Structure 1
Amino acid sequence: MTHAQIMRALSGLLLGLFAAILSSTVVTNALPRIIGDLGGGQSAYTWVVTASLLAVTASTPLWGKLADQFSKKVLVQSALIVYSVGSLVAGLAPNTATLIAARVIQGLGGGGLSALAQVVLAAMISPRERGRYSGYLGATFAVATVGGPLLGGVITDTSWLGWRWCLFIGIPFALVALVVLQRTLNLPVTGRAAEVDWAGAFFVSTAVCLLLVWVTFAGDKYAWLSWQTCASVAGALLLALAFLYVETRAAEPIIPLRLFRNRTIALASLSSLFVGVALFAGTVFFSQFFQLARGDSPTRSGLMTIPFIAGLFVSSTVSGRVITRTGRWKGWLLSGGILLTAGLALLGMLRHDTPYVFIALCMTLMGLGVGMTLQNLVLCTQNQVAADDLGAASSTVTFFRSLGGAVGVSVLGAILTTRIGHYARDTLTDLAPADRLTAARASGDGSLPDLALLPAPVRTWLENAYGHGIGDIFLYVAPIALIAFLVTLFIKEVPLSDRSGLARATR
């Protein structure tokens, strides 16, 4: 295929991927307003994000395996339809419970789009040339990520629109993508039709769900060391063992365990798990920092995150082109790990009054690291699997990244609540007696505060608690990014193949 043919084939796919990413980022800066209007608290804030990540995590292996067996085009279109339905329900949600359920539906569709984008790319383009086109995926991710918060902030601050339109905004893009895909994406079905591993999908989904429910409620609804913790952990382990048992006997397992005999796939999956924690922790808590620790509007909050997205955009596109030209990719993985760790460690120094220039520098380092890491972990995996396993291998790496993000956001959200409470209580005596009652009411009901309604001393007191608490979150994530870097040290650099997935499947 020529470059023009590939770009036509990718046009609808990139548009659909843009819609899916937009749905997750457009609400980032609107979430404090959304949760406040629907009467939710920090737990609901975390779950609106986690629910989508959970659905992405649980469904990604299934989408990837289906892509090895059925029409990739039909699967992408099905994912777009599921995503659109979830977006519509989310926009009409009357309460946080409905919103969280709708985000699950959105995540099911988004998981398909994220996994299938990598699979379609691998089917059409050889690993040697894929770096260039992976850069386009990275650019799409960057544009949707930077455009989403800005667009969400403007929509939320516009009185005649409101935050509900943040949830509707992706539907037109998805519908256009459906039409474009019908005209431009025509791939032969090279897989082998087989029975779908529904049992494996069930056990991996329920194991992940139970794990996330535990880490979300532990420390809030019950103690970390309690009978609920014992029951949840034991249940998750039993479900995980059941999943492993089923996968060893399934004719077409959704996560073929034999893939992990390959050192690169095993290490790339493990690294993706830790990178996922760092990536989603950063993007989720940035909006809370700027709005609740610095009092910025949703629109301004979106503008503040541009350095992170700029770093991601530049590094993903530049690294992709250089990898295509040189065929060498490991150096980019290692450099990305170093930059990501450094950015997070420096962000651990955040306070509510930290100069923005310093914050922007840290976000740029983090963005550069993420851009060099995400696509290349998938690339090195796709380079070493047979054509029939491209879908399963690609989705396996994506699965672990999403799993890391979902678990990380849940755990860190629970920790953040504890840290904010700690700093708030520790500095309560700094307030005048007349302000302490107001402060207790602002932080005592578990809901996200409206800083504009608080007296200046109480507002500064609460901003300090949020700033210090969110700084701690980044500090805790930095060692996790360091572990991801150490894992990539042991990935062996294998020369990139010059044959596409379809070429290998039909030779």
Structure 2
Amino acid sequence: MSAPTITRSEPGAMTHREILEALSGLLLVLFVAMSSSTIVSTALPRIIGDLNGSQTQYTWVVTATLLTATASTPIWGKLADLYSKKTLVQISIVVFVLGSILAGITQNTEQLIAARAFQGLGMGGVQALVQVAIAAMIPPRERGRYNGYLGGVMGLATVAGPLLGGVIVDTDALGWRWCFFIGIPLALVSLVVLQKTLHLPVIRRSNVKIDYLGATLIAAGVSVILVWVSFVDSSFAWISWQSFVMVGAGVALLALATWVESRAAEPVVPLSIVRQRTTALSILGSLAVGMAMFGGAVFLGQYFQIGRGYSPTEAGLLTIPMMFGLALASTIAGRLITRSGNIKPYVVAGTIILVAGFAGLSFLDHDTPLWYVGIAMFLVGAGVGMSMQNLVLAVQNTVSLKDIGAASSTVAFFRSLGGTIGVSVLGAVLAHRVSDSMTDQLAAIGVQSTGGGDVSPLNLGSLPPAIQHIVRVSYGDATGHIFLISMGIAVVGVIAAIMMKPAKLRSTVDLAAPKTDEPKLAVTSK
């Protein structure tokens, strides 16, 4: 039975119990999507080693997922403003499941990268649409409390994922392929839970158009830049005709995308929203947080396994301080924000703590005391927990319900873009420094390679003990340098947070309707 027609400014209230029932399905979906990434973070060194992949391919297994998730996020968000949010969440889960199956049956790194790219389409939908759905149910003032639940699930996923991935890889009866298969049953369960618990208003609009051209241009421009980042300084020089062509093409595509978006009837990235002070500054902050969220998980897992010699399971355990900091800070900050209605102080504090954490990680080498690494990781996690969700909340507080999907996905897009660029840039820097270090150390002992062109340096078990030591030292000592770069970028997040305009969170789901309001839009529940 359809719900009564209501106005946009009064979309209907949900009880606390109804909200929790709907959140159960949404948080289960988010747990599945996030754990699929964190499971791979500790298993990836073993996976790439078994497939004889390179450091560049290691980076692209992660980058491919982030790239497609980034490119598809604005489209998911725009679709959520036009069609059933519930249906779209379920579609994204199906895409994610198919991608997981493909990733689990791959036979080489090229196939794995392609499968992870497809899986990223579903992950992008889940991560964007969960926040859109929550925004459609809960007023910003109350959303801080529920964001605590969100942070708790994210913390659980990021803690359980690396541990589970390590156990799977270290268990001969399973093997690394089960890192992709294990999330499928939970994803299917989430479909059933959502069907029973998630009931959101659907605004019926006619003559809607989605700017697929703009979305394609954005994806193409970002892809070209990322491909250039991955190969510059290894396949060709920074100042070369290849660099000029690729950078020029990427900038031209993005400029054309901006022009198309400014003229599209239904832009996937609404420039009117992006130009607002709060949104623009939240985007800058999200770029820094995105780098922290993805770069930390990817390269710390590699640091512990390759640079320090720990097993995948041990590497997962060693990342717990960062995940604990994220869950704790997200939960506490969410409740304090709901109580006070102020969001800026917590975002500012979170970005400052994030810089402090990266500063600590910038001193890492192959024999840094683990207690020191743990403290620095806790600070990074706490910084992410205090700032990540709240940057989205700050933007959601400034837009009406009809634009909540586009606004939320725009911030998520740039956060994911920051993570994608961050992983690509940091991965390229890491690969370059490791290569130089290994070349120098191997030359000192009269060795010209790591043991043959068919053996990856990440496949440590196939290398002689002396060369294993050189590989570990090279990776361990190079990791600190990439976090020094991260610290510099995180400072931009601090500046953006300080410049944000203080504002009280509103206590209604939608903005108050203007006096000269347009005709009421029919809203049904689905």
What TM-score does the superposition give when structure 2 sets the normalisation length? 0.92
Look up the SS of the partner of 2:505 in the other structure. coil
Distance in 2 (CA, whole Å) between partners of 1:115 and 1:445 is 40
Kindly report which structure 2 residues correspond to 1:90-239, keeping only aligned pairs within 5 A, or say none: 90-190=103-203, 192-193=205-206, 194-239=208-253
Q: Alignment RMSD, CA only?
A: 1.8
Distance 1:249 1:19 in 2: 37
CA distance in structure 2 between the partners assigned to 1:365 and 1:441 by the alignment? 36
Q: Secondary structure at the match of 1:27?
A: helix
Assess if the C-alpha contact under 8 Å between 1:68 and 1:191 holds in 2: no
1:252 equivalent in alignment to 2:252: no
Q: Which residue in the other structure is 1:20 paired with?
A: 33
Match of 1:10 in 2: 23
Q: Distance in 2 between matches of 1:169 and 1:503?
A: 45
User: After superposition, what is the alpha-carbon deviation per residue over 1:330-349, rounded to whole angstroms, capped at 9, x for unaligned?
Assistant: 11111111111011111111
CA shift at 1:428, angstroms? Answer: 4.1
Aligned equivalents of 1:446, 1:318: Cα separation in 2: 48
2:487 to 465, 472, 478: 478
1:64 aligns with 2:81: no
Alignment match, 1:355: 369
Q: Name the residue aligned to 2:68.
A: 55
Which amino acid letter does the alignment assign opposite residue 61 of structure 2?
A: V
What amino acid does structure 2 have at the position aligned with 1:50?
Answer: T
> Is the 1:60–1:111 Cα contact (8 Å) retained in structure 2?
yes
Shift of 1:448: 3.3
Residue in 2 that maps onto 1:420: 434
Which secondary structure does the structure 2 equivalent of 1:489 belong to? helix
- The 1-side partners of 2:66 and 2:458 are apart by 25
Aligned amino acid, residue 468 of structure 1: D
Q: Equivalences for 1:328-339 in 2 at 5 Å? A: 328-339=342-353
Would you tell me which structure has more helix in proportion to its own residues? 1
Whole-angstrom distance in 1 between the partners of 2:276 and 2:54 = 44
- The verdict on how the C-alpha distance between 1:319 and 1:406 changes in structure 2, with shifts beyond 3 A counting, is same
Q: Which moved more, 1:225-234 or 1:394-403?
A: 225-234
Q: 2-side partners of 1:116 and 1:423: how far apart?
A: 44
Counterpart position of 2:498: 489
Comparing 439-448 with 92-101, greater Cα deviation is found at 439-448
| Shift in Å, 1:466 | 0.8
Q: Does 1:80 align with 2:125?
A: no
Partner of 2:416: 402
Q: Is residue 288 from structure 1 mapped to residue 319 from structure 2 by the alignment?
A: no
Contact map agreement 2:399 2:511 (CA 8 A) in 1? no
| Alpha-carbon distance in 1 for matches of 2:395, 2:455 | 43
Contact 2:49 2:460 survives alignment (8 Å): no
1:330 and 1:264 map into 2 onto residues whose CA distance is 10
Say whether the 8 Å CA contact 2:25–2:198 is kept in structure 1.
yes
- How far 1:191 sits from its partner (Å)? 5.2
Moved more, 225-234 or 62-71: 225-234
The AA in structure 1 aligned to 2:110 is A
Look up the equivalent residue of 2:289 and give its one-letter code.
Answer: V
Q: Assess if the C-alpha contact under 8 Å between 1:278 and 1:478 holds in 2.
A: no
What is the number of equivalent residue pairs in this alignment? Answer: 502
Aligned residue for 1:30, secondary structure, equals helix
Q: Deviations over 1:239-261 (max 9, x none)?
A: 11221121122111111111123
Whether 1:392 and 2:406 are equivalent positions in the alignment is yes
Q: Which amino acid counterpart does residue 478 of structure 2 have in structure 1?
A: G
Moved more, 452-461 or 416-425: 452-461
Shift of 1:22: 1.2
* Residue 458 of structure 1 pairs with residue 445 of structure 2: no
Residues 178 and 501 of structure 1: is their aligned pair in 2 closer, same or farther, counting only changes over 3 Å? farther
Give the C-alpha shift of residue 440 in structure 1.
Answer: 2.9
* Structure 2 portions without partners, runs of 5+: 1-13, 514-519
Q: Is 2:56 the partner of 1:43? A: yes
2:291 and 2:486 in contact (8 A); partners too? yes
Partners of 1:41 and 1:446 within 8 A in 2: no
Name the % identity: 53
Q: What are the superposed Cα offsets for residues 166-199 of structure 1, whole Å, 9 maximum, x if unpaired?
A: 0111111110011111111111202534112111
Letter paired with 1:403: L
1:313-372 Cα offsets, whole Å, 9 max, x none, are: 100011111111111111111111111101111111111111100000100111110100
| Structure 1 range deviating more: 187-196 or 114-123 | 187-196
Distance, in Å, in 2 between the alignment partners of 1:73 and 1:18 is 17
Question: Matched residue of 1:31: which SS?
Answer: helix
1:189 counterpart SS class: strand
Cα deviations across residues 193-232 of structure 1 (Å, max 9, x unaligned)?
Answer: 4112111111111111111111111122222222111111
